[in-house]
Structure 1
């Protein structure tokens, strides 16, 4: 049993998978979320609404060694993002200060939406962050808040998360989802288990005294054009019909690199969409 502890703020899908991984390593895990009934067994529950400025009644008496902030906005508009990622983080930072607690490190789970690239360029942690949408702008604001806090911090920019329960693209392909092939619209993704494993890996590295950078991109090894992914899924699913119109929700096109995380020693279990979706489809 390890003496190390982690508080996972926003212990939802990714957070719960991270919690299970840390429990198997012998860590003590606390999970903060609105409904604690869905927390994994072994996680100390902290019922809280991050929009409430009052410190939760079940806040741990012992200072957590690590805090992972991985919330998901319940309201998908500018106000909802501001409340979840900026206001909520401010509350957590204040609660830690009120109790005189300073973690060894805070991991803030961000998004590749902070990048505004459209031409299929390769991007890494040092690439320019010039988002056009409110989600990317607010994420950048939250990143700066995390990095300027009392505790050392690292930002983890996750790309498109998919996996069990996150099957939007599969549903669209079954309905004949049509995507233009030219110019290629590059997408980036990471299986939800790999997203959790990256966070677990960074916690383990820091606890072992390895120096962490202030930013990592969480992505698999193989960014790919969306049309290629759709064509492969159509073949796997045996879909032959096409919808009448092309339906593409986003305008960004970039290829995110995981070289920094790989250089530290992490590698994804699902290196491309093929392995990840094959696992979902039971192949």
Structure 2
């Protein structure tokens, strides 16, 4: 059987880690980004701009089994989000049609920002999407573009991604960061390697003929109050002094469930912030 082919559009940090995992499973991987020199070895570069309607000159001409859309906004405002997630996805879908390509499935990497719950509620894929901000609203719009594309699609709503190079919280704790403890502000996270691993898991599952749902939440096993995470990091880092006043933080507070994807057999490598941050601090990831 020939190697499955996948195009990762927006092949940045998560996409490159996904590409590396798939290459290890003998997939043929195309990576679309502006600077293809930064792609992992073995990835076939497609130099292109998701913000342009012009199909990249080196767009693959053969069949594509899968599309993973994993873009990141360069401008974090409403226009930037629309360009990256809604218009960019429309461009890629148009390029597929232009080249007569019909993938078996599209994976669209979305965000848990579509959930605006604020009281620490448990959230799953059936929970109402009540985001009041533009980021969640535009993600929902982009999700509908994927689901209405005429290609089978699954949405993967990733929670807060952390990992090497994504160490904002570690920096803040070292500087004496303090957060409110009452009421608890629940946060959700996923290590960047697990984010990539989840996408690879879903692609392999679809390849085996497993029926996939339209939406999955990508999160580790242990949503936790931010104050608890900060306390653990202080102890691990040996931080003994911190600010007298709690820092202002986003208002959202929810606990995301990964039960749906775990029922398929997915197991995160880093089940909680403890394993994930320890791996970062010990240089194991």
The TM-score bracket by the shorter chain reads over 0.9
The answer for the alignment partner of 2:281 in structure 1 is 281
Query: Deviations along 1:134-182, whole A, 9 cap, x unmatched?
Result: 0000000000110000210000000000001100000000000010100
In the alignment, structure 1 residue 13 sits paired with structure 2 residue 13: yes
The answer for the alignment partner of 1:164 in structure 2 is 164
In the alignment, structure 1 residue 97 sits paired with structure 2 residue 97: yes
The answer for the alignment partner of 2:125 in structure 1 is 125
Query: Deviations along 1:215-271, whole A, 9 cap, x unmatched?
Result: 000000000000000000000011111124322331100000000000001010000
1:30·1:44 contact (CA, 8 Å) conserved in 2?
Answer: yes
The answer for the alignment partner of 2:214 in structure 1 is 214
Q: Which runs of 5+ in 1 are unaligned?
A: none
Work out the CA distance in 1 between the residues paired with 2:96 and 2:248. 42
What does residue range 6-45 of structure 1 map to in structure 2 within 5 Å?
A: 6-45=6-45
What's the CA shift for 1:64? 1.0
The answer for the alignment partner of 1:77 in structure 2 is 77
The answer for the alignment partner of 2:259 in structure 1 is 259
In the alignment, structure 1 residue 68 sits paired with structure 2 residue 68: yes
Size of the aligned set, in residue pairs, is: 283
Query: Deviations along 1:54-109, whole A, 9 cap, x unmatched?
Result: 11001000121000000110110000000000000000011111111110000000
TM-score, structure 1 as length reference: 0.98
- SS of the aligned residue for 1:255 comes to strand
The answer for the alignment partner of 1:180 in structure 2 is 180
In the alignment, structure 1 residue 200 sits paired with structure 2 residue 209: no
1:154·1:215 contact (CA, 8 Å) conserved in 2?
Answer: yes
The answer for the alignment partner of 1:232 in structure 2 is 232
What does residue range 240-255 of structure 1 map to in structure 2 within 5 Å?
A: 240-255=240-255
Q: Which runs of 5+ in 2 are unaligned?
A: none
Work out the CA distance in 1 between the residues paired with 2:156 and 2:234. 32
The answer for the alignment partner of 1:149 in structure 2 is 149
Work out the CA distance in 1 between the residues paired with 2:105 and 2:30. 15
Work out the CA distance in 2 between the residues paired with 1:247 and 1:20. 38
1:6·1:64 contact (CA, 8 Å) conserved in 2?
Answer: yes
- SS of the aligned residue for 1:247 comes to coil
What's the C-alpha RMSD, in Å, of the aligned pairs? 1.0
1:163·1:191 contact (CA, 8 Å) conserved in 2?
Answer: yes
Work out the CA distance in 2 between the residues paired with 1:249 and 1:274. 21
Work out the CA distance in 2 between the residues paired with 1:195 and 1:77. 24
- SS of the aligned residue for 2:216 comes to strand
Work out the CA distance in 2 between the residues paired with 1:249 and 1:144. 30
1:2·1:25 contact (CA, 8 Å) conserved in 2?
Answer: no
